[in-house]
Amino acid sequence: MTESPRTALPSLKSPPGERLEIVSAWDADTPYQAWRPQILVPPTFRPAQPSRVFVVVNQKGGAGKTTSAVELAAAWAAAGLRVRVIDADHQEAALSVWLVPQYPEGKPRHSLRSVFFEECSLAEATYPTLFAGVDVVPSSTDLQQVEYNPPIGAEQTIAAALAQEAEEAGGRSPYDVTLIDAAPSLGLVTVAALTGADEALVPIKVGGLDMKGMASLHKTIRSVQRKTNPKLRVGAVLLTAWDKSGFARQLAAKVSEDYPEAAVIPIRRSIRAAEAPLSEEPIRLYAPEAAPAGDYDQAAAVILPAPGVAA
Ligand SMILES: Nc1ncnc2c1ncn2[C@@H]1O[C@H](COP(=O)(O)OP(=O)(O)OP(=O)(O)O)[C@@H](O)[C@H]1O
Ligand SMILES: [Mg+2]
C-alpha cells in the first residue's frame, strides 16, 4: 500500500464573524428582524461523551445530512478525536465521493454492503481518507441489494458490527466518534443505522421544511426506540442553510417543542458549503472563514465536547 500523506484539519482560532450565542430558552419577544441566530441548549440537554455513535438522519432529500456528517467529523478530528464516517446512502454516494477513501492496492474493496452480507468486518470495510483523524466506510449503488434482498437480521447489522468491533478492541470502540450518513429514505439501511446509533442528529433545511416529513421521521424514531433501540435519543437538530426570517424562528420554536431535550443549532447559509464537495475537502479546509465552518465547529463542541473545542 502506498501511504498518502494525510492533511491535518485546522482548528478555527478566530472563527468567522461572531460566534453564535448559546441560550437556554428562546427569546420570543424580540422581533425576528432584530433576532440573531442562537444555539438553544435546553436545561434537559446532556452532552455526549466518547465513544459515541451518531446517525445523521432525515428522510427528506437535500436536508444537509452529508454536509453535516462531513463537517462534524472534520470538527471532531480537528479537536484530536478519532472519527469514522459510515456512508449509509446508496443513491449518490455523495459522502464516499467527497471523502475519497484511500484503498490499499491489490486488495478487494469492501463497503457497507460487504458488512451487511457478512463478507467482511466493519474494520475491514474502514479506509483512511486524505484527512488526518477521519476514516470512512464507503458505499455505492450496490448497497441497494440490502433493500431488495435483505440478509437475515439486517436491522441489527450495524449494531452487531459495532459491538463486535468494540469487543475485539478490548471492550471499547477504536473510534471516539462514529457518524452514519443516512439516505433520504426510511428504508432498511436507515433503520439499521438508527438501531446501531446512540444518538440521532437531525438536519432540517430552513425553507425546505415539510411538516408531514417531520412527523414521519418522528414516528420512525419512536418505533425504533420501542422495538430495536431503546437507548436512541435525538441529540441535536441542525437548522441548515439558515437565513434570518420569521420562518426560521418559527421552525426553531417548533423543533424544540418536538425534541425538548435536543440542542437546536443554526448553520448559516453560504455558497461555500455547496462548493466544498467539488473541491473534495470539508468546508473547514476549503473555506475556514465561511460561516458554516464556524457554526459546525460550535455544533461539534456542544454535541460532544472534546479537549481543544470550546463552544
Ligand atoms: N449551510 C449551507 N449553506 C448553503 N448550502 C448548503 C448548506 N448546507 C448544505 N448545503 C447544500 O445543500 C445541498 C444538500 O446538502 P446535503 O447533500 O448535505 O444534503 P443531504 O441531506 O445529504 O442530501 P441527500 O438527501 O440527497 O443525501 C448541497 O448542495 C449542499 O452543498
Ligand atoms: Mg446525503
State in Å: Cα 121 to ligand 1 middle.
Answer: 30
Q: What pLDDT, on the 0 to 100 scale, is given for residue 126? A: 97
Cβ 213 under 6 angstroms from ligand 1:
no
pLDDT of residue 128: 97
Question: Once rounded to an integer, what is the mean pLDDT over residues 20-24?
Answer: 93
Q: Per-residue pLDDT for 311 more than 70? A: no
Higher-scoring residue by pLDDT: 13, 201? 201
Ligand number nearest CA of 58 is 1
pLDDT digits (tens, 9 = 90+) for 169-197: 888 899 999 999 999 999 999 999 999 99
CA of 95 to the centre of ligand 2 (A): 7
Choose the weakest-confidence range: 85-89, 248-252, 263-267: 248-252
Cβ atoms within 10 A of the Cβ of 309, count?
A: 20
Model confidence pLDDT, tens digit, residues 198-216 = 999 999 998 776 777 788 8
Give the pLDDT score at 213: 78
- Residue 238 CA to ligand 1 center (angstroms) comes to 12
Q: How many Cα atoms are found within 13 Å in the side-chain-facing hemisphere of 251?
A: 26
Asked whether residue 153 carries a pLDDT value surpassing 90, the answer given is yes
Query: If you take atom 11 of ligand 1, which residue's CA is the nearest one?
Result: 274
Cβ–Cβ contacts within 10 Å for residue 19, how many? 16
User: How far is residue 216's CA from residue 126's CA, in Å, rounded to a whole number?
Assistant: 32
Q: Residue 196: CB within 6 Å of ligand 1?
A: no
Ligand 2 centroid, distance to 96 Cα (angstroms) = 10
pLDDT over 90 percentage in the chain: 75
**pLDDT recorded at residue 3:** 61
The pLDDT score that the predictor gives to residue 15 is 58
Which pLDDT does position 28 carry in this prediction? 74
Contact 204, 240 (CB under 8 A): yes
Q: How confident is the model at residue 32, as a pLDDT?
A: 74
pLDDT averaged over every residue in the chain: 91
Q: Which atom of ligand 1 is nearest to the CA of 242?
A: 1
- Cβ atoms of 267 and 248 within 8 Å: the answer is no
Ligand 1 nearest atom to the CA of residue 275, by list position: 31
Ligand 1: atom nearest CA of 291 is: 1
Q: What percent of the chain has pLDDT over 70?
A: 95
The domains found in the chain, sorted by start residue, are 50-303 (3.40.50.300)
- The residue whose CB lies within 8 Å of the most ligand 1 atoms, and thus the one to mutate among 67, 238, 265, is 67
Report, as an integer, the average pLDDT of 45-63: 94
Ligand 2 centroid to Cα of residue 62, in Å, is 7
**What does the pLDDT read at residue 310?**
55
Tell me which range, 88-102, 145-159, 209-223, is most confidently predicted by mean pLDDT. Answer: 145-159
pLDDT band for 307, please (50, 70, 90 cuts).
Answer: low
CA angle centred on 222, ends 218 and 224, rounded to 5°: 120
